């Protein structure tokens, strides 16, 4: 079974309240993936996601936390912290050691097949992927696919055809 790391934007978009068409579409795709496709995967998350969801008060906060509460939590080990530091030093990810770099490090260290995210600036970004792959290969790390729920659903559809 393929392992999918659930990053913070997934529960956030599952409970999206923003009315714009793109935001509503992302919410619908997230819910579709979660409800119809997630059972086919081993979904995991981390204390970093839980911390981000708890950190600041926001609408439907309890529901977002409850959505991921039952998922297995990947441990933030010393090795993961070292990977985060390398990502930041090599300018793969922004300087926030508890943000995108940590999610990528966790997904890479634990060999997740997919890092599922709506963060298209720093994670699910084709232009950054070559740099991420180069650093992960140099570190001897697995290179997860960095996908949105829509992309992951399309990948499955293409595999079936």
pLDDT for 116: 97
pLDDT for 137: 97
Contacts of 135 (CB under 8 A, 6+ apart): 86, 87, 90, 92
The model's pTM: 0.92
Say how far apart CA 57 and CA 60 lie, in whole Å: 9
Say how far apart CA 28 and CA 15 lie, in whole Å: 10
Structure tokens that stand for 37 in this block? 């496709």
Domains of the chain in sequence order: 3-160 (3.40.50.1010)
pLDDT for 156: 60
Q: How do residues 71-105 score in pLDDT, each as one tens digit?
A: 999 999 999 999 999 999 998 886 775 789 999 99
Q: How do residues 93-102 score in pLDDT, each as one tens digit?
A: 867 757 899 9
3-state secondary structure of 29: helix
Say how far apart CA 6 and CA 147 lie, in whole Å: 11
pLDDT for 3: 98
């Amino acid at each position: 079974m393929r392992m999918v790391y659930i990053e913070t934007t997934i529960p956030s978009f599952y409970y999206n309240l923003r009315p714009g068409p793109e935001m509503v579409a992302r919410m619908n795709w997230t819910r579709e993936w979660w409800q119809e496709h997630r059972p086919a995967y081993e979904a995991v998350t981390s204390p970093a996601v839980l911390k981000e969801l708890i950190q600041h008060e926001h609408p439907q906060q309890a529901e977002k936390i409850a959505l991921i509460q039952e998922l297995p939590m990947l441990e933030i080990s010393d090795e993961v912290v070292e990977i985060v530091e390398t990502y930041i030093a090599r300018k793969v990810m922004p300087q926030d050691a508890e943000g995108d770099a940590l999610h990528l490090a966790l997904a890479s260290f634990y060999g997740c097949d997919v890092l599922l995210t709506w963060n298209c600036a720093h994670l699910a970004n084709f232009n950054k992927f070559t740099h991420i792959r180069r650093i992960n290969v140099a570190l001897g790390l697995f290179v997860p696919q960095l996908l949105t729920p829509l992309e992951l659903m399309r990948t499955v559809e293409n595999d079936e055809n």
